[in-house]
A and B are shown apart, each in its own frame.
Chain A
Amino acid sequence: MENKKKWFQLDLGLNNKQAASETCGCGKTEGGCGLDSVKPKNQYSITAEEFDAAVERELMEDTAVGQTKKDGFQQVFDVRMDRRTAFRKLTASLLVGAGAIHTSCSVTAGEEAKEKAQIDWEEQFKGNYKLMTKEEKQATVDRLVRSYQLRKKKNIKMSSTDALEDVLFGYAFNISKCQGYMNCVSACVEENNQDRNSQMQYIRIHEMKDGQGFKFHEADDNYYHEVPAEGHFYMGTQCFHCDNPPCVNVCPVQATWREEDGLVVIDYDWCIGCRYCMAACPYDGRRFNWSKPEVLEEEVNKNQHYLGNRMRKKGVMEKCTFCVQRSRSGQDPACVEACPTGARIFGNLLDSNSTIRWVLENKQVFRLKEDLGTEPKFWYFMD
């Protein structure tokens, strides 16, 4: 049963005792105490005296055998841990302890409420995703899936797939083809679960006048008329996934970084919301959740990635991830798939047979604000 658990649960050493006595560490048998909320229902009860006797017996055994078996306290305190783990465990135990007292005194708190509380504490004190081991990554993903299940009674699929070897994603935009239909924008919003209230959009389509070159400051990036408009051409911008991203350097907590496959991603749970990255981005690629983001339950895209389109919270940054949940499983990003004109091309820059490589080798391509040394992996070209 322990092995099947979908989420990580803090081990205070009490489960050890439980194996011997089949009861929770607090001695309560009904309703649970919050520390051990998933115990089996068919258990036998023991009295407090019996429990104490059992504990004493075990302690005696330990001294007699010369401590061949570590007891609960030793298991917790005799392990090597760095400061971060230590802090996390200490704080978590304090808070879980406080929560345990609260829930065990409460007659209304159900098992689910306790589980939710447990998950919330674990989530609050987890580390930076970038520095997590594979197991820790899986654990947090499991917690988030379970949390969604408890709250919304719906199942989501969340992946924590890492970057694949020999992959470097790149993007090309054909200015001659784009007609400004904005299918890419709506596909992006639906795919990436962006806040519907504030109408957050990662992609901006700039409508420019023919014959005047790229005059972004005179362009309209918020039009509502029929397209293509006479005498205009269109140019899309989004996060360019720079190879030398200024936003990554400035983040005080390394909540944003460049992955091995070139994607610049954010750990939404590690972000502190200082918005320094937003000031540092020369391409208007980043968005902030000024309020709690809201998406109607039936509109939520349930195929998610931890670094991609999972649900965000208020006060954190987000941005285009080249649809990491799709691109890492071999699909094109939603904007590429939705584009009716074929203006958008996405692929692996390290694959010499990819379309993107063909474009880079056979078209006259350029990038925006190259003088800033950001090395975007987003090229523009014309037929």
Chain B
Amino acid sequence: MRTLRVFGNMLRDSFGYVTYGSRTYHIWMIFLTIVMLLGMYCYSIQLEQGLSATGMTDRVSWGLYISNFTFLVGVAAAAVMLVMPTYILHDIDFKQAVLLGEGLAVAALVMCLAFIIADMGGPWVVWHMIPGIGVFNFPNSMLTWDVIVLNGYLFINFSIPLYILYCHYQGKEAKHEVYVPGSILSVFWAVGIHLVTAFLYEGLQARPFWNNALLGPRFLASAFAAGPALIILVLALIRKFTDFSIADKTIKKIALIVTVAAQINLIMLVSELFKEFYAPTHHSESAFYLYFGMDGKTALLPWIWTAIPLNVFATVMLTFHRFRNNFKVLYFCCFILFIAIWIEKGFGLIVPGFIPGPYGKIAEYTPTWIEIWVTLGIWAMGAFVFTILAKAAIGIELGELRYKKKEVLEPENV
């Protein structure tokens, strides 16, 4: 009972805390709300018209939604890069960052699930997929694996920070033996969610562009570059706008992770390009289409030729200690790396999988405005969720949010 009372108090206090803030904070939240509402309006049009409101067709049947889904799974998985050193290697530096990293994972997962729902032809029969009520084609369908790992990961990443914050809210230290096993599990789980998501594509013999053993490892490498890059940017913003202190050392360590992952990602990219272009086969056509266009169809060229130089440039810059340790350069590099990987792993991965089609037909895909606004709406929702989680977490960590002192001092609680 007491637990529930404290928890209720925590929710109430947090609600009060997140609805109160500076003018910048309010403008930010209003902006996100407007984008979300626009996204919802566009989604309502899509529900009414069907998926013909999007640019997808029978020839290219997955587009912007699934691209973003794939990318965001990677962002979610990257939270592990902070969890591991903090909870398992007891590296104190990361402790402040880790709550935020897990918050980011929760927000990313919420976006992932939203993108899946947005992509579905029949969101009103989603209960067909609930195990026990519907029919869950486990273990045959990789999609059911993905449902399990994503929801499991969401649960882990929600419960660990919740427990820690719940303890801190009462002015207590969180018990190691409670959350460390969960953290260790989440490390394996994070690798799992991204590998399973890669298997979703890798397991399709119909699509040679995806049916490639490097896809899974490359997913991991790019995720561990893009995810922590986003975390660095978020930490930079939090440092600027709140009193929450984040040591330079923390950011530098995360930057090192980004650098190593980006380097590995680049090596894999070279390996992939070599395989596709040194001895091109029929199966290299998708790569040809992606990098050079085919039959005068060149819709993806601007995208991929933006992504590759940005990726290479950012990785090279980050490799030099002098540039990496200069925060202005670091933030810039993280930003362009994030954009580069978003393109490469979203558009650059999903769309060419369908082009050319099973019989060589080249039909291009361009997202419609409806699709773009729904996507922006979901991103705004993710940012909204993260802002709320981060603000409450920071409030508790800074001690601005505390359970009534009197009860904390009661002997049973000490």
Contact = CB atoms under 8 A, between A and B. Distances in A.
B10 to A, nearest CB: 33
Interface string A173-204: 00000000000000000000000001010001
Interface of B is mostly: loop
A315 interface: yes
Interface stretch (A30-38, A106-114, A285-293): A285-293
A221 B129 contact: no
Contacts of A289: 50, 121
Interface centre among A206, A255, A279 (most CB of B within 10 A): A279
B185 interface: no
Contacts of B285: 217
Contacts of B132: 83-84
A253 B138 CA distance: 9
B331 interface: no
Contacts, number: 143
Interface stretch (A59-67, A225-233, A265-273, A327-335): A265-273
Contact of B205 (A254, A290, A316, A373): A373
B414 interface: no
Interface string B105-131: 000000000001001111011101100
A281 interface: yes
Contact of B133 (A87, A272, A280, A282): A87
Contacts of A272: 120-122, 125-126, 128-129
Contacts of B147: 252
Contacts of B61: 275, 278-279, 288
A250 B125 contact: no
B135 A254 contact: yes
Interface of A is mostly: loop
A243 to B, nearest CB: 15
Interface in B37-56: 49-52, 56
A291 B47 CA distance: 10
B399 interface: no
B121 A315 contact: yes
B357 interface: yes
B128 A270 contact: yes
A131 B135 contact: yes
B358 interface: yes
B358 A281 contact: yes
B137 A251 contact: yes
Interface string A57-89: 000000000000000000000000001100100
Contact of B58 (A87, A131, A287, A374): A287
A250 B144 CA distance: 9
Given A273-B122, A274-B120, A252 B144 contact: yes
A276 interface: yes
A290 B51 contact: yes
A177 B81 CA distance: 62
Contact-residue size bin, chain B (C-beta under 8 Å from the other chain): 35 or more
B327 to A, nearest CB: 42
B128 A216 contact: no
Nearest to A314: B50
A229 to B, nearest CB: 18
B193 to A, nearest CB: 16
Given A128-B128, A284-B358, A246 B205 contact: yes
Nearest to A201: B58
A372 interface: yes
Contacts of A87: 133
A29 interface: no
Contacts of A253: 128-129, 134-137
A283 interface: yes
Interface string B165-179: 000000000000000
B137 A252 contact: yes
A218 interface: yes
A49 B27 CA distance: 62
B366 interface: no
A251 B122 contact: no
A290 B56 CA distance: 8
A290 B125 contact: no
A249 interface: yes
A316 B124 CA distance: 12
Contacts of A338: none
A252 B206 contact: no
Contacts of A275: 61-62, 119, 121
A280 B204 contact: yes
Given A84-B132, A252-B129, A252-B144, A284 B137 contact: no
Interface string B190-213: 000000000010011111000000
B47 to A, nearest CB: 9
Contacts of A249: 140-141
Given A237-B359, A290-B56, A250 B142 contact: yes
B50 A372 contact: no
A372 B211 CA distance: 11
A276 to B, nearest CB: 6
A219 interface: yes
Contact of B122 (A217, A271, A292, A373): A271
Interface of B: 49-52, 56-58, 61-62, 116, 119-122, 124-126, 128-129, 132-137, 140-144, 147, 200, 203-207, 285, 353-354, 356-361
18 contacts: A200-B58, A250-B140, A251-B137, A252-B147, A253-B135, A253-B137, A254-B137, A271-B122, A272-B122, A273-B122, A274-B119, A275-B119, A279-B206, A280-B204, A284-B357, A286-B58, A291-B51, A315-B121
